[in-house]
A and B are shown apart, each in its own frame.
Chain A
Amino acid sequence: MSVAFSEGARAEFERLLTRYPDRKAVILPALHLAQKEFGFVSDDAIVYIAGLVGTSPAEIEGVATFYTMFNRKPVGKYHVQICRNISCSLLGAEHLIEHISEKLRVRPGETTPDGKFTLTKVECLGSCGTAPVMQVNDEYHEHLTVESIDRILDQLP
């Protein structure tokens, strides 16, 4: 099934083209746009972007798979990404990861059966001074505790 950007995303893509001396520089921004539009970077999205940029799907695929943020498979409505690196670990991240895992009944890397949450352990989110930290979709949540995690996840619609 082929996919296409909405009018707004298409306009943003055209605007991006004016910001670089080389067309291929829009590959990363276009992949971000695709993920926002379609929820993840599907095979069809790869083919579509290749057509827009004017290169092969293989090249787009090669780029997309290099970067951890591009989801090549669907993720839940809320992508819970919790930092497992050193500053967060020193302040209890391991325990928090176990807590979320038990609470949502998924292991890291898995999605809840209702498609609401995907849990992922990630590397440093660059917010070590307010550790432990997780990112839910675009939003950072800092100074995490078991209680604050419960509050944050429970109130998501």
Chain B
Amino acid sequence: METVLTTHFANERYRRLDTYRQYGGYEALKKALAMDPVQIIDEVKKANLRGRGGAGFPAGVKWGFLPKDLSRPRVLVINADEGEPGTFKDRVIMTRGPHLLIEGIAISCFALRAHACWIYIRGEFVREAGIVDEAVAEAYAAGFLGENILGSGFDLDVTVHRGAGAYICGEETSLINSLEGKRGWPRLKPPFPASVGAFGLPTIVNNVETIADIPWIVTHGGETFAALGVEKNGGTRLIGVSGAVNRPGVYELSAGVNLKDIIYEHAGGIKDGKKLKAVIPGGSSTPVLRPDEIDVSYDIESMAKIGTMAGSGGVIVIPEGTCMVRSLSVLMNFYAHESCGQCTPCREGTGWLKKIVGRIEEGKGREGDVELILDLCDNMMGRTICPLSDAAAMPAQSFIWKFREEFDRHIGEQKCPYGNRF
């Protein structure tokens, strides 16, 4: 199958500018600089490129939200805060092909008429930030960034900015606050970032993978990109498979690949010849699936139809013999730890979910605890500034809906049937 991003990732030197250029790197930028910015945005719209950070919003449409008048400078912010458990694809782009991202940034900023871009990289990715920083320096030295890029008269400054350990900063308005040097608290919308974003300026926030796709789209055309995927879901996706599979890793596959094939063909099936018990299909926040539900196309609409999400492309595979209550307890600890504390339903809700799921796992569950969890979830969803509250409630609900008998058994027997172990 044709690949957009990973074609040369096996070559260690591809991260360097000279090798990247040997494979045609920055030719797309040259082409783009000769195009009308509106034409580039049209190609991105035709590409059916959906945001790869998790929400899946059409990138071209998002770009269209910037105000028409150019009186205020606009900026691009790259979300490289990869933090959704199960997601580890942007790290691969940044370490293997950082120039794909930088060329994508240059083209996108030209299309958006933006002259400044910040790449917000999660703080733990020290090495990755170093690699991207080096690549940015190479691009400046070669005239692909900076003033008067390739004689076009277009100026662009790109700066690598490191986060400091906060899952919430992957939410775009939290990321903007964090970039501005504040606590990473999500902002109320409206105003949307496209009108008032970073430093009060019109801002587009895009995921690393989304922007890394842009050079290929400019080179080959939006329709060619769209054809690599399925209806409304253009191109390929970097899908990360983790957990109990024989070949965990990142796979570049059509946006309409079958979820079962991702696990059994590409990732080599379940480890140690075990049976499959459950799949968290698109990062830890997405509703869990039972084995009989995974014969489905991984595109955004098909996944929504079965009540879950392809999210950020992180497939977490849970094998037979795993305690689902313990698994959920791990996730609930995570959300309670990461809630920023601004909104009461989330701050209190995530804490209570952690506590109640934890006590069920410890064999201290009470009659009615399962109903209490579901009631809490009802009161957490759609009632907060950002989706972290929903992100905690969705796994809690779905684990109960799909594996209710395990919760009941823990409470009934007053112990974990799996011996409190993974």
Instruction: Spell out A's residues near B (CB within 8 Å).
Output: 19-22, 24-29, 31-32, 53, 62-63, 66-70, 84-87, 89-94, 123-131, 135, 138-140
Contact B166 A66 (CB under 8 A): yes
A86–B331 touching, CB < 8 Å: yes
Q: Which of B8-16, B44-52, B178-186, B209-217 forms contacts with chain A?
A: B178-186
Contact among A87, A123, A138, A140 for B86, CB-based, below 8 A:
A87
A41–B205 CA distance with the chains assembled, in angstroms: 30
Asked, given contacts A24-B180, A86-B316, whether A69 binds B243 with beta carbons under 8 Å apart, the answer is no
Q: Please state if A123 and B334 are interface contacts (CB–CB under 8 Å).
A: yes
Q: Which of chain B's residues have a CB closer than 8 A to the CB of A129?
A: 88, 240-242, 248-250
Point out residues on B near A: beta carbons under 8 Å.
82-88, 91, 116, 122-127, 157, 159, 161-167, 178-184, 199, 201, 240-244, 248-250, 280, 284, 314, 316-319, 322, 327, 330-331, 333-334, 337-338, 340, 421-422
Q: Which 9 A-B residue pairs are closest in the complex by CB-CB distance?
A: A27-B181, A67-B164, A128-B242, A68-B165, A69-B165, A87-B242, A24-B181, A138-B126, A66-B183
Supposing A25-B179, A128-B240, A129-B250 touch, asked if A123 and B167 sit within 8 A by C-beta, the answer is: yes
Cβ-closest chain B residue relative to A81? B124
Q: Which of A63, A68, A124 contacts B85 (CB 8 A)?
A: A124
Q: How many interface contacts (CB-CB < 8 Å) are there between A and B?
A: 148
Tell whether, in the assembled complex, residue A86 and residue B330 are in contact, meaning their CB atoms are under 8 Å apart.
yes
- Smallest CB gap from B250: residue in A: A129
B422 contacts across to A, CB distance below 8 A: 89-90, 92-94
Contact B184 A131 (CB under 8 A): no
Among residues of B, the one whose C-beta sits closest to the C-beta of A25 is B181
Pair A124/B318 contact, Cβ less than 8 Å: no
Chain B contacts of A86 at CB under 8 A?
Answer: 85-86, 243, 280, 284, 316, 327, 330-331, 334
- Could you write out 29 A-B pairs with CB less than 8 Å apart? A20-B159, A21-B116, A28-B161, A28-B181, A29-B161, A63-B182, A66-B166, A67-B166, A69-B164, A70-B164, A85-B284, A86-B316, A87-B85, A87-B243, A89-B327, A90-B316, A90-B327, A91-B243, A94-B421, A124-B85, A126-B82, A126-B83, A126-B124, A126-B125, A127-B88, A128-B314, A129-B240, A129-B248, A130-B88
Is A85 within 8 A of B181, CB to CB? no
Q: Are B242 and A29 in contact (CB under 8 A)?
A: no
Q: For the complex, what is the distance from the CA of A28 to the CA of B81, rounded to whole Å?
A: 14
Assembled-state Cα–Cα distance A139/B340 (Å): 27
Judge whether A29 and B85 touch: CB under 8 Å. no
Give the residues in chain A near B249, CB-CB below 8 Å: 129
CA distance A21 to B159 in the complex (A): 12
Whether the pair A63, B183 counts as a contact (CB closer than 8 A) is yes
